[in-house]
């Protein structure tokens, strides 16, 4: 199996798995208990918190453990319930949905074809929530610049760094953000655990009430084993990473050369190095995805046929305003595990799959239309 869907989730890193297995044998106490088993769980959690804080250059007390990126995103938005919130059109649904439901006024900023947010200096709001890197296109947003603008307005800024973490340097002080979200499972840690960075002094309303954990900011007994796994993943992500850009760009180049009527949707110059989003004219994405799956290659698609809600990708729609581009899109997302041989295997089968789908398609290829 060639796994090219790391932006959806990544397999546990061996070091993470090892640490979690060991913790399962050795650590069982409730981290909130004062006795020795409880204390050792607590120490393990605080050790992980340090590693996670270090990864983003934060202070440990600014890190709040949550159940994942979606909870972190929801928590920030709910903190600004009944206030004015600005988001981009390509945010994750865990930003868009709560904002539409709870904000007093919700302003959605458009993006250009590269997926870059078009900021409007005249807009004022209490909170701006713009992702650091987009999950489908890989586009990096200029958060450092936006923070300056937002802070000049005396407003707060949150960035969802779920896709950026481990792929590009993420430093909360440089970015100068008030809130930042990311999780473990995109960097080789377990699913079901994430964090919200909350800058000291920034407003905060807990989403989960009824426990003193996380200084009353997030109630609920700790998932100690997952926190430990997250800590190890964060430590590994702090180390210099293999350059994925060459591999990703090679795939882009070969697709452009070998597959007629394909278009690269990812802005290669301004994106995290792991994501490549491509549309294949007249070929439907779910079919491409499943033909690839039958060849042992796992990717994802922006097609409505593969989505849970029956709608094409809102990200591609926002960038291209063309349902066909979205339905015909495939996202490849790489990790350190992938090799040039994986790219070779993709290019062995993909051109034939696309050719066949284009030939049986009811859609005429543009340029061939008479």
Q: Which is nearer to another protein, 171 or 344 (CB)?
A: 344
Burial class (CB in 10 A: 0-12, 13-18, 19+), 310: exposed
H and E: helices and strands count for the chain: 13, 13
CB of 357 to another protein, least distance (A): 8
CB of 294 to another protein, least distance (A): 6
* Contact positions vs another protein (CB under 8 A): 1-3, 11, 282-284, 286-287, 290-291, 293-294, 296, 298, 303-306, 310, 312, 323-324, 327, 337, 356, 359-363
Residue with tokens 């987009």: 134
The 3-state DSSP class for residue 86 equals strand
Q: Which is nearer to another protein, 152 or 362 (CB)?
A: 362
CB of 250 to another protein, least distance (A): 19
What whole-number distance in Å separates Cα of residue 176 and Cα of residue 77? 18
Residue of 106, 268, 305, 349 marked catalytic: 305
Q: Which is nearer to another protein, 249 or 324 (CB)?
A: 324
Residues in the chain: 370
Q: Is the dihedral of CA 249, 253, 254, 255 positive or negative?
A: positive
Q: Which is nearer to another protein, 84 or 286 (CB)?
A: 286
Q: Which is nearer to another protein, 164 or 292 (CB)?
A: 292
What whole-number distance in Å separates Cα of residue 120 and Cα of residue 142? 13
CB of 292 to another protein, least distance (A): 11
CB of 259 to another protein, least distance (A): 17
What whole-number distance in Å separates Cα of residue 177 and Cα of residue 132? 11
Q: In Å, how far from its chain's centre is CA 182?
A: 8
> What are phi and psi for residue 87, nearest 5 degrees?
-130, 170
Q: Which is nearer to another protein, 223 or 324 (CB)?
A: 324
Q: Single out the residue of 58, 45, 57 nearest to residue 19, CA to CA.
A: 45
Residue with tokens 């097609």: 303
Catalytic residue status for 305:
yes
Distances from the Cα of 197 to the Cα of 75, 180, 200, 224, angstroms: 11, 5, 9, 19
CB of 201 to another protein, least distance (A): 44
Residues involved in catalysis? 305
């Amino acid at each position: 199996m060639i796994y090219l869907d790391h932006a959806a989730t990544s397999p546990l890193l061996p070091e993470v798995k090892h640490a979690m297995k060991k913790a399962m044998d050795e650590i069982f106490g409730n981290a909130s208990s004062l006795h020795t088993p409880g204390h050792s769980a607590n120490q393990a959690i605080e050790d992980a918190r340090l590693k996670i804080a270090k990864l983003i250059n934060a202070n440990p007390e600014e890190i709040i453990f949550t159940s994942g990126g979606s909870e972190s995103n929801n928590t920030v938005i709910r903190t600004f319930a009944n206030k004015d919130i600005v988001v981009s059109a390509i945010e994750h649904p865990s930003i868009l949905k709560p904002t539409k439901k709870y904000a007093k006024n919700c302003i959605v900023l458009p993006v250009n074809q590269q997926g870059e947010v078009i900021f409007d200096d005249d807009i004022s709001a209490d909170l701006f929530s713009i992702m650091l890197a987009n999950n489908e296109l890989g586009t990096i947003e200029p958060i450092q610049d936006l923070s300056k603008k937002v802070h000049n307005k005396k407003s707060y800024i949150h960035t969802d760094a779920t896709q950026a973490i481990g792929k590009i340097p993420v430093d909360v002080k440089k970015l100068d953000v008030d809130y930042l979200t990311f999780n473990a499972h995109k960097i080789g840690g377990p699913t079901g655990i994430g964090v919200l960075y909350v800058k000291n002094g920034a407003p905060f309303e807990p989403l989960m009430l009824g426990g003193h954990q996380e200084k009353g900011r997030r109630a609920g007994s700790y998932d100690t084993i997952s926190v430990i796994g997250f800590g190890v993943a964060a430590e590994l992500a702090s180390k210099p990473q293999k350059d994925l850009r060459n591999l990703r760009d090679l795939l882009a180049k070969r697709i452009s050369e070998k597959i007629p009527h394909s278009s690269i949707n990812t802005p290669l110059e301004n994106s995290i190095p792991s994501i490549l989003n491509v549309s294949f004219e007249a070929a439907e994405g779910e079919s491409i995805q499943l033909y690839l799956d039958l060849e042992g290659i796992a990717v994802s698609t922006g097609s409505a046929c593969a989505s849970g809600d029956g709608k094409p990708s809102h990200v591609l729609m926002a960038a291209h305003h063309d349902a066909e581009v979205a339905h015909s899109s495939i996202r490849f997302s790489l990790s350190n595990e992938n090799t040039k041989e994986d790219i070779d295997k993709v290019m062995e089968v993909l051109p034939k799959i696309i050719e066949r789908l284009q030939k049986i398609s009811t859609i005429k290829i543009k340029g061939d239309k008479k």
